[in-house]
């Protein structure tokens, strides 16, 4: 693996870094510390800017009008995009757009017309409805939401938990059990319009993360046309699994970006802050914290970039993606914690971003599959089918 | 945790006396106990709920009583209360300025 950035990567990373520092950070000063959106006029202005930069819709495949940027470069960009207060869950406040739900690229032509293209034009939003009160890391067994065939429709009953963005979405991907005897081969993915009778967003689930909150959904005799099955009947698990694997790389990149920014702030602060007549930077305890930060960040970057490089080459990357998610989310937590310690009282005040990062970073060890599940995936890849 | 605020109403002056600089959310009601304003005291607020309830009550002459909830999750709780009110009455509270609501993206709840 080449450890040097190409000229093009270096240029793109520089552009995004300047954008975050010159456009996002100054705006963020005037926002609530827990804000997850920009005022509409600022967002519209900045979207025009990222379009001019040629970086809008980063994750959209070139065939659908997105910029042709490989996954390693997109990972480097994601690390830059998250280097601000809201960066972990609202990198650059969505001003780089996105592909929405990547699974829709595999949809039928009619489904693409109705859901994918409006998402790419920024006209519709979707949500991903997998986790249930019975669990999220083991969808093959945990999914209890049931879909029963009735003529040309399916009737869905059940519920989902921890679903982000469902209250603001126009549609969602809902995974439901269509054959109770077949385990992972009995789950189907349905595209569900949120104005369908029987679709309810019952409540916000309040957590450590006050921004980009999760919701709880309930489905009561929700009737969905058979044409709204995404992919094949009883093959929804593969769709869910593919998404979970791919999502781990940008998830890791977000953790790294925040860690990089926190570390940078600490490096700037400790030579200035004096205690007992000398700068904090002269204290070995502080130096070791900075060293540990540096090592945590470097390890996370290389493991994550390796996963992205394997995915770019079309090689299996399940193990590497799990390692990236595991290492970056745990390292990110340690780095933010150390930086808080170095900043003392200021570190825990809402005046600085550490407090928000600390709360949100804690969730990263659980969201998108907890650390223990990532270790299980890695062990399974090492030991083979005996653990499946 | 209940979606709607269900605490008993207090006269605004009594509520302000009890309040400190906490973060949280609050509702103001008219003489008939209709919710006419939903607000919050966020981390940028200098004196928390005490200051925000006082300021909102001064601006809204029909406000008679208040109730509040101390919470550091004011960001999501504020949105939840606005969405629940909209689900119940078809629109946000009468005294929440539309220009303020335009600054946030409110979703749609159908609370039980």
Confidence band of A283 (pLDDT split at 50, 70, 90): very high
Q: Do B108 and A34 touch (CB under 8 A)?
A: no
Residue A359 has pLDDT above 80, yes or no: yes
Q: Which residues of B touch A200 (CB under 8 A)?
A: 110
- Residue A47 CB coordination number (10 Å): 18
The reported pLDDT for the residue numbered A238 is 85
Q: Which residues of B touch A215 (CB under 8 A)?
A: 107
Q: Which of A39, A166, A210 sits opposite B75 (nearest CB)?
A: A210
Confidence band of A387 (pLDDT split at 50, 70, 90): low
Reduce the DSSP state of residue A99 to 3 states and report it: coil
Residue B25: CATH number of its domain: 3.40.1440.10
Q: Does A291 touch chain B (CB under 8 A)?
A: no
The reported pLDDT for the residue numbered A105 is 86
Distance from CA of A216 to the nearest CA of B (A): 10
Q: Does B74 touch chain A (CB under 8 A)?
A: yes
Confidence band of A386 (pLDDT split at 50, 70, 90): low
The reported pLDDT for the residue numbered A1 is 65
The number of folded domains in chain B is: 1
The reported pLDDT for the residue numbered A155 is 98
A-B C-beta contacts closer than 8 Å: 68
Q: Give residue-wise pLDDT tens across range A11-46.
A: 999 999 999 999 999 999 999 999 999 999 999 999
Confidence band of A161 (pLDDT split at 50, 70, 90): very high
Residue A291 has pLDDT above 60, yes or no: yes
The reported pLDDT for the residue numbered A357 is 98
Q: Which residues of B touch A167 (CB under 8 A)?
A: 83, 107-109
Mean pLDDT of the residues in chain B: 94
Q: Give residue-wise pLDDT tens across range A82-107.
A: 999 999 999 999 999 876 778 888 89
Whole-model pTM: value is 0.93
Q: Do A203 and B108 touch (CB under 8 A)?
A: no
Residue B98 has pLDDT above 80, yes or no: yes
Q: Which residues of A touch B73 (CB under 8 A)?
A: 206-207, 210
Residue A388 has pLDDT above 70, yes or no: no
Catalytic entry in A28, A368, A372, A381: A368
Ramachandran quadrant class, A65 (left: phi over 0; alpha: psi -120 to 50; beta: rest): left
Q: Where in chain A is the domain with CATH 1.20.140.10?
A: 238-387
Q: In terms of CA atoms, which chain A residue is nearest residue B41?
A: A32
The reported pLDDT for the residue numbered A331 is 98
Q: Give residue-wise pLDDT tens across range A206-246.
A: 999 988 899 999 999 999 999 999 999 999 988 888 777 88
Instruction: Name the H helices within A270-283.
Output: none
Q: Does A204 touch chain B (CB under 8 A)?
A: yes
Confidence band of B13 (pLDDT split at 50, 70, 90): very high
The reported pLDDT for the residue numbered A68 is 84
Which of B39, B46, B110, B112 would best serve as a mutation to test chain A binding (most A beta carbons within 10 A)? Answer: B110
Q: Which of A36, A201, A210 sits opposite B108 (nearest CB)?
A: A201
Q: Where in chain A is the domain with CATH 1.10.540?
A: 7-104
Q: What DSSP assignment string belongs to A111-158? A: HIIIIIHHHHTTS--EEEE--BTTBSS-HHHH---EEEEETTEEEEEE
Residue B20 belongs to domain spanning = 10-101
Select the more confidently predicted residue: A286 or A98.
Answer: A286
The reported pLDDT for the residue numbered A375 is 96
Q: Which residues of A touch B80 (CB under 8 A)?
A: 203-204, 206
Q: Give residue-wise pLDDT tens across range A185-197.
A: 899 999 999 999 9
Residue B32 has pLDDT above 70, yes or no: yes
Q: Do B110 and A35 touch (CB under 8 A)?
A: no
Residue A287 has pLDDT above 80, yes or no: yes
Q: Which of A96, A35, A139, A59 is nearest to A368 (CA)?
A: A139
Mean pLDDT of the residues in chain A: 93
Q: What is the CATH number of domain A126-230?
A: 2.40.110.10
The reported pLDDT for the residue numbered A385 is 63
The reported pLDDT for the residue numbered A134 is 82
- What's the fold here for domain A238-387? Butyryl-CoA Dehydrogenase, subunit A; domain 3 (1.20.140)
Bridge partners of residue A147, in order along the sequence: A156
Domain A7-104 matching CATH 1.20.120: the answer reads no
- Residue B84 makes CB contacts below 8 A (sequence gap 6+) with B3, B4, B109, B111
Q: Which of B13, B17, B22, B26 is nearest to B67 (CA)?
A: B26
The reported pLDDT for the residue numbered A2 is 67
Distance from CA of B27 to the nearest CA of A (A): 18
Q: Give residue-wise pLDDT tens across range A305-332.
A: 999 999 999 999 999 999 999 999 999 9
The reported pLDDT for the residue numbered A61 is 86
Provide the ipTM: 0.90
Distances (CA, A) of A167 to A86, A107, A114, A355: 20, 23, 19, 27
The reported pLDDT for the residue numbered A275 is 93
Q: Give residue-wise pLDDT tens across range B66-88.
A: 999 999 999 999 999 999 999 99
Q: Which of A33, A37, A210 sits opposite B104 (nearest CB)?
A: A37
Q: Is residue A330 among the annotated active site residues?
A: no
Q: Which of A192, A249, A227, A205 is nearest to A108 (CA)?
A: A227
Residue B1 has pLDDT above 80, yes or no: no
Mean pLDDT of A137-149: 86
Residue A165 has pLDDT above 90, yes or no: yes
* CA B37/CA B55 separation, integer angstroms: 12
Q: Do B76 and A350 touch (CB under 8 A)?
A: no
Q: Which residues of B touch A350 (CB under 8 A)?
A: 43
* CA A354/CA A343 separation, integer angstroms: 9
Q: Where in chain A is the domain with CATH 2.40.110.10?
A: 126-230
- B111 found inside a domain: no
In chain A, pLDDT over 70 holds for what percent of residues?
A: 98
Q: In terms of CA atoms, which chain A residue is nearest residue B108?
A: A167
* CA A111/CA A13 separation, integer angstroms: 35
Q: Which residues of B touch A206 (CB under 8 A)?
A: 1, 71, 73, 76-77, 80
Q: In terms of CA atoms, which chain B residue is nearest residue A125?
A: B107
């Amino acid at each position: 693996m080449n450890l040097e950035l190409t000229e093009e990567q270096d240029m793109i990373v520089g552009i995004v870094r300047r954008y975050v520092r010159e456009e996002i950070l100054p705006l963020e000063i005037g926002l609530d510390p827990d804000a997850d959106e920009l005022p509409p006029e600022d967002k519209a202005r900045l979207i025009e800017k990222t379009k001019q930069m040629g970086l809008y819709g980063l994750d959209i495949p070139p065939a659908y009008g997105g910029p042709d940027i490989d996954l390693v470069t997109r990972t480097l960009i994601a690390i830059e995009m998250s280097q601000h207060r809201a960066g972990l869950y609202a990198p650059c406040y969505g001003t780089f757009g996105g592909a929405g739900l990547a699974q829709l690229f595999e949809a039928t032509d009619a489904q693409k017309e109705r859901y994918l293209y409006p998402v790419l034009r920024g006209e519709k939003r979707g949500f991903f409805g997998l986790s249930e009160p019975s669990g999220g890391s083991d969808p093959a067994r945990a999914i209890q939401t049931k879909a029963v065939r009735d003529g040309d429709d399916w009737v869905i009953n059940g519920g989902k938990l921890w679903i982000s963005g469902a209250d603001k979405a126009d549609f969602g991907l809902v995974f439901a059990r269509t054959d109770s005897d077949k385990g992972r081969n009995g789950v189907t993915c349905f595209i569900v319009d949120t104005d369908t009778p029987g679709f309810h967003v019952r409540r916000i689930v309040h957590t450590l993360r006050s921004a980009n909150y999760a919701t709880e959904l309930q489905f009561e005799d929700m009737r969905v046309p058979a044409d709204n099955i995404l992919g094949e009947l009883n093959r929804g698990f593969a769709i869910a699994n593919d998404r979970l694997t791919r999502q781990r790389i940008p998830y890791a990149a977000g953790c790294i970006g925040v860690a990089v920014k926190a570390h940078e702030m600490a490096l700037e602060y400790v030579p200035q802050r004096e205690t007992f007549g000398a700068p904090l930077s002269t204290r070995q305890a502080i130096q070791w914290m900075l060293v540990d930060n540096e090592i945590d960040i470097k390890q996370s970057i290389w493991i994550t970039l390796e996963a992205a490089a394997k995915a770019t080459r079309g090689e299996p990357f399940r193990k590497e993606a799990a390692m990236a998610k595991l290492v970056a989310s745990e390292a990110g937590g340690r780095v933010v914690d150390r930086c808080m310690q170095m900043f003392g009282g200021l570190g825990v005040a809402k005046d600085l971003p550490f407090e928000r990062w600390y709360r949100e970073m804690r969730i990263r060890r659980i969201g998108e599959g907890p650390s223990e599940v990532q270790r299980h995936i890695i062990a399974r890849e090492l030991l083979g089918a005996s653990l499946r | 945790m209940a979606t709607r605020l269900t605490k008993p109403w207090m006269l605004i002056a009594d509520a302000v006396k009890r309040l400190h600089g906490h973060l949280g959310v609050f509702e103001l009601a008219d003489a008939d106990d209709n919710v006419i304003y939903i607000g919050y005291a966020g981390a940028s607020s200098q004196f928390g709920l005490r200051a925000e309830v006082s300021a909102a009550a001064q601006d809204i002459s029909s406000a008679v009583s208040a109730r509040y909830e101390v919470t550091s999750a004011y960001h999501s709780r504020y949105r939840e209360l606005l969405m629940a009110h909209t689900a119940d009455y078809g629109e946000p509270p009468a005294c929440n300025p539309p220009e303020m609501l335009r600054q946030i993206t409110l979703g749609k709840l159908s609370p039980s």
